[in-house]
Amino acid sequence: MLFSYFHEIYEGIKRDKPLIHHITNYVTVNDCANIVLALGGSPVMADDHKEVEEMVSIASALVLNVGTLNQRTIESFILAGKKANALGVPVVLDPVGVGATNLRTQTLQRILKEVKLSVLRGNMSEIKNIYGQDGKTRGVDSVDDSLAGGKEIALELAKRLDCVVAITGATDIISDGEQVFYIENGHKMLSRVTGTGCMTTSLIGTCVGTKKNPFHGAIMGTAIMGIAGEMAYEALEQKEAVGTFRMKLMDAIGSFSMECFQERGKIHEA
């Protein structure tokens, strides 16, 4: 039954080529744009406060990523987020490095207060910080990868924020406040390429841009990245390493099929 929902999302992406508006960080912006294109969507990376409301008005989803936030983009986050809410455009938030600085934490608190999210995606450290646990963040690196309590955190935070929560890691945890699913795809080399978390958020944005259930979109986008990571690693030849892996990751997304998803997806209810 779940696979039929994923198939509808996939067909929607290929048919409609949803426009995914990003206000994202400049470390990974090119990879995020290309990953959306590879899956079948259409990315736009407009972040000036004078045009974000107009741009989100023609978008299918809005992706907010605070990785390299500044005063200009903070204003854009709020303006675009509120406009998206008014128009019914789903909003996906990536709280990169929340807890590392006061500005970062305060910005996340403001977004969560003023913008209604469809999906919140982060690593365990970031999600635990938002939840109010003892997760600590150093730069953008997760320093608390324990999955203990992850199911409960995802479930309770999803209820509190009334949105889907996706915790990505060795085992991904996705909850809509009622159900919890685990995804056990992926490869450790994904952690050696900067921006794979950001790219996962962009894949989720592309999936929810089909206007289907954001819970199913979050599961699908997260699983696609994990499966692509496995495929990219398997395609490496002797002495090929991280640089080639990054290229093959994009190739894997570009050649992705629902047959591959059904064959390789390791998705199960908690």
As annotated, the binding site for ATP includes 121, 168
CA distances from 250 to 56, 59, 183, 269 (A): 26, 23, 20, 28
User: Which residues fall in the annotated binding site?
Assistant: 45, 121, 168, 195
Q: Which of 144, 169, 174 is nearest to 158 (CA)?
A: 174
Burial class (CB in 10 A: 0-12, 13-18, 19+), 254: middle
Torsion of CA 79, 81, 85, 91, to 10 degrees: 160
> What is the DSSP secondary-structure string of 225-263?
HHHHHHHHHHTPPTT--HHHHHHHHHHHHHT--HHHHHH
User: Which residues fall in the annotated binding site for substrate?
Assistant: 45, 195
